[in-house]
Amino acid sequence: MQTRAPDPLSVTVRMFTQRFSSTRKGARLARLLTLHQLDEWGIAYDCETSDRAAAIIAELAANAATHGRVAGRDFEVSLRLGEAQLRIEVADARSERRPAAPAVPGRPESETGRGLLVVEVLADRWGVCGRSGPGKTVWAECDLPGAGPACCRQSVQAGESAGGAGLGCQEEESASGSQKGTPWP
């Protein structure tokens, strides 16, 4: 019996998509399931990549549940792990409420208004795009250190860059362009 050698140009991209109720409990579950999925892919809990992803997903999911909520509609989380990047997307049903570029909160004692600042600091790139149905998708990308996260129990398989249009995006607007801090047009 003859076996075929693996194709050297084959690409492995790991993807995960899940819908959650637009509630605080749904946002918490999105963060926990993201961490579990990353651990399944070899990115260990409590490493830099995992911690960054947890904070980003927590902020984007909380925003979707709070500001993007439409009664009876869920929000959706999608992850794509390539060779060099982790892309996180959170889609909700409110297309008219696109996030503005983050600004420093007016009152330092305020308990709200810092979510996108956290995303801006932790993500290498982030932005917003439309989706095929009603709503919008807010996305963030984290570059993986070296050939994959140093905290992985196993190296990440060869994959493609998560750049370009994402899983649920039709057109893409970058909040940070190719560098952090560039405001939206």
Q: What pLDDT, in 10s, does the model give residues 141-178?
A: 999 987 554 445 433 333 333 344 455 554 455 555 43
Residue 81 β-bridge partners: 14, 86
Residue 9 in domain: no
**Which residues have a Cβ under 8 Å from the Cβ of 143 and sit 6 or more positions away?**
84, 85, 124
- Distance, in Å, from the CA atom of 102 to the CA atom of 113, rounded to the nearest integer, reads 9
- Cβ contact 126:175 at 8 Å: yes
Which whole number is the average pLDDT over 75-92? Answer: 92
- Distance, in Å, from the CA atom of 65 to the CA atom of 79, rounded to the nearest integer, reads 18
* Selected residue with higher pLDDT from 22 and 56: 56
Residue corresponding to tokens 């963060």: 31
Residue 182 in domain: no
Residue 21 in domain: yes
Residue 37 in domain: yes
Residue 80 in domain: yes
Domain extent for 66: 14-99+115-174
The encoded tokens of residue 106 equal: 């007016």
pLDDT digits (tens, 9 = 90+) for 32-45: 999 999 999 999 99
Dihedral (CA of 49, 92, 66, 100) sign = positive
pLDDT digits (tens, 9 = 90+) for 97-152: 666 665 555 566 666 667 788 888 999 999 988 877 788 889 999 999 875 544 45
3-state secondary structure of 24: helix
Residue 179 in domain: no
- Per the structure, the count of domains in the chain is 1
- Distance, in Å, from the CA atom of 35 to the CA atom of 44, rounded to the nearest integer, reads 8
CATH number at residue 126: 3.30.565.10
Residue 1 in domain: no
Residue 15 β-bridge partners: 80
Residue 110 in domain: no
pTM of the model: 0.72
- Distance, in Å, from the CA atom of 160 to the CA atom of 38, rounded to the nearest integer, reads 17
pLDDT at residue 118, rounded to an integer: 86
